[in-house]
Structure 1
Amino acid sequence: MIGTVTLNPAVDQTMRVDGPLAPDEVIRVEDARFDPGGKGINVSKYLTAMGTETVATGVLGGFVGRHVAERLESAGIATAFVDIEGVTRMNTTVLAADDEYKLNQAGPQVSPADVDAVVEKLRTRSPGTVVVAGSLPPGLDSDAIDRLARAGPWETVVDVDGPLLRELDAEFELCKPNVTELEAATGREITGVESAIEAARELRGDRFDRVLASLGPEGAVLVSADGVVHEPAIDCEVVDTVGAGDALLAGVLAATDAGADDADALHAGVVSATAAVSTQGTTLPSLPEPTASGVD
């Protein structure tokens, strides 16, 4: 089983408007979606869609947190969240005619004691892999992620921003930066696939067994002690990029869990990411069930 930890979950509000955004004008919203979000939650959603056993954990609070819990329960996603006093944040994506705009709240205060409670939730479910993903809320730093990685016999996967990747001290099975995060974590400029591979090799160091880097229109690379795999992007109509990296990670983890090698696992991840960007918001797209040879 794969457990996911989201320490700063959210409700993802996705709105579409016909024209560009302009100051001092009332913008009429054509439609809006409210999806439970946060990177770890998204990974559990995609894993569930692929038939991989998962449990979503982390912290939830207030009326927004209750909405997240209710939506996940109605979607059939197993949860084991810790209740906190603060109110879970709301993130907003506006899909306008000229561009895509994102407004993300910082989130409520979370304490190290809350992290200890999350650890106990994980221990009662004994996952083989734990994914710690997303931003950290006020009150926590990189020590919280290291604590989660060292707290059990599970392999830990991390998907956080670049500066935070540099601060981690524990050992991790995999990390998943995008181009911006890879640049921030290594200080290298990424100009294409080859420079991304060199940066991923540097990032591996002695903390990350594998580095999965998402490269947008150039696909993704998976770098490990066994070598490098590059999977080109699949041509498709991009509707919304929200959750694309989470779908990539979920596809790789689901395929690996099914016994696939790195090449087949990366292919499964890119297929999953393609389905995600073809769907508005973090609505669950139709995803293939991974097998030991990749995807069906």
Structure 2
Amino acid sequence: MILTVTLNPAIDHTLALSEPLVDGDVARTGEYELNSGGKGINVSQYLRHLGVETTTTGLLGGMTGEFIRNELDEDGIAHDFVEVSERTRLNTTISAPDAEYKINHHGPTVDESVIDELIDLISDHDPEVVVIGGSLPPGLDVDAIDRLAEGGPWETVVDVGGESLAELDAQYSLCKPNEVELAAATGMPCETIAECREAAQALREQGFDRVVASLGAAGALYVSEDTVLFAESLDIDVADTVGAGDALLSGVLAALHTGESPERVLSYGVAVSARLVTTAGTVVDHLDDVPELADRVRIVEDPD
């Protein structure tokens, strides 16, 4: 079983305006979305569609936390969260004709003792793999991620910011940076595929068995001790790229879970990501066409 951990989840509140914002005026709209947000939650959603047993956990509090629980119930995603005293955050995106505005709350302030509670909770579920993703709430630092990784016999996968990646001390089975995070974690340039490859190899030596790097429209890299692969992106119509990295990681994890080859692991990740970006938002109805999409992904060994 794959258990995902989101330490600072959120409700993603999206408003669409038909007119530009004007200072002092009241803007009205009937177009809005409220969705559960967080890397771990997204990964569990996609894993469930891929037929992989998964449970999502993390920290939730207040009425916003209850909203997320209810949404997970409606979506059929197993969950088991630690309750915190402050409300789970609300992140707002305002899309206007002339601009897009993003306002993210920093999240509830929590005590380090919640990590002990999470370790006990994770142990009760006895997962094979634990996936930790997203930002940290106030009160926690990267040591919390290391503690979770070393808290039991599970393999740990991380999808966190570049600066956090650079500060981790535990051994991890996999990390999934994008090119910006790869550069931040290593201090190396990541403008070309060759540069990203060198940075991924350097990052792997810092305590990661595998590095899977998402490179946006260019594709993705897979780097392990004895394998370097590059997958080209599929030629598809893109609605938006929200959640593309989470989808890539989900496909990689699903293929690793069933013992696929590195080539299939990477192509599966790219296929899930491609399937997601053809629709707006982070929610998908199904991923039934992923195997067919994966067959279309072109893999290059030892890219220059």
- Report the TM-score when normalising by structure 2: 0.91
Q: Which amino acid aligns with 1:93?
A: T
Residue in structure 1 matched with residue 171 of structure 2 by the alignment? 171
Q: Which runs of 5+ in 2 are unaligned?
A: 297-304
SS at match of 1:195: helix
Deviations 1:140-173 (A, max 9, x none): 0011000000011110000000111111000000
Identify which range, 282-291 or 205-214, moves more after superposition: 282-291
Deviations 1:103-134 (A, max 9, x none): 22110012221111111111111110000100
Residue in structure 2 matched with residue 124 of structure 1 by the alignment? 124
Q: Does 1:226 align with 2:226?
A: yes
User: How far off its partner does 1:268 sit?
Assistant: 1.0
Structure 1 102/234 Cα, relative in aligned 2: closer, same or farther at 3 Å?
farther
User: How far off its partner does 1:261 sit?
Assistant: 1.4
Residue in structure 1 matched with residue 259 of structure 2 by the alignment? 259
Superposed, 1:1-296 pairs within 5 Å as 1-18=1-18, 23-29=23-29, 31-98=31-98, 100-288=100-288
User: How far off its partner does 1:100 sit?
Assistant: 4.5
CA contact (8 A) 2:156 2:174 kept: yes
CA contact (8 A) 1:35 1:281 kept: no
Distance, in Å, in 2 between the alignment partners of 1:140 and 1:233 is 36
Residue in structure 1 matched with residue 299 of structure 2 by the alignment? none
Deviations 1:161-186 (A, max 9, x none): 01111110000000111111111111
CA contact (8 A) 1:82 1:114 kept: yes
User: How far off its partner does 1:288 sit?
Assistant: 3.2
Structure 1 227/25 Cα, relative in aligned 2: closer, same or farther at 3 Å?
farther
User: How far off its partner does 1:102 sit?
Assistant: 2.8
Q: Greater Rg, structure 1 or structure 2?
A: 2
Q: What is the aligned residue count? A: 295
Structure 1 265/20 Cα, relative in aligned 2: closer, same or farther at 3 Å?
farther
User: How far off its partner does 1:284 sit?
Assistant: 2.2
Q: Which amino acid aligns with 2:43?
A: V
Q: CA RMSD in A?
A: 2.1
CA contact (8 A) 1:276 1:285 kept: no
CA contact (8 A) 1:18 1:30 kept: no
User: How far off its partner does 1:96 sit?
Assistant: 4.0
Q: Which runs of 5+ in 1 are unaligned?
A: none
User: How far off its partner does 1:14 sit?
Assistant: 2.5
CA contact (8 A) 1:47 1:250 kept: yes
Structure 1 218/30 Cα, relative in aligned 2: closer, same or farther at 3 Å?
farther
User: How far off its partner does 1:237 sit?
Assistant: 2.5
Distance, in Å, in 2 between the alignment partners of 1:100 and 1:264 is 37
Structure 1 96/214 Cα, relative in aligned 2: closer, same or farther at 3 Å?
farther
Q: Which amino acid aligns with 2:7?
A: L
- Report the TM-score when normalising by structure 1: 0.93
Distance, in Å, in 2 between the alignment partners of 1:68 and 1:227 is 39
Distance, in Å, in 1 between the alignment partners of 2:116 and 2:295 is 37
Query: Between the two proteins, what is the percent identity of the paired residues?
Result: 49
Distance, in Å, in 2 between the alignment partners of 1:190 and 1:48 is 33
Identify which range, 239-248 or 22-31, moves more after superposition: 22-31
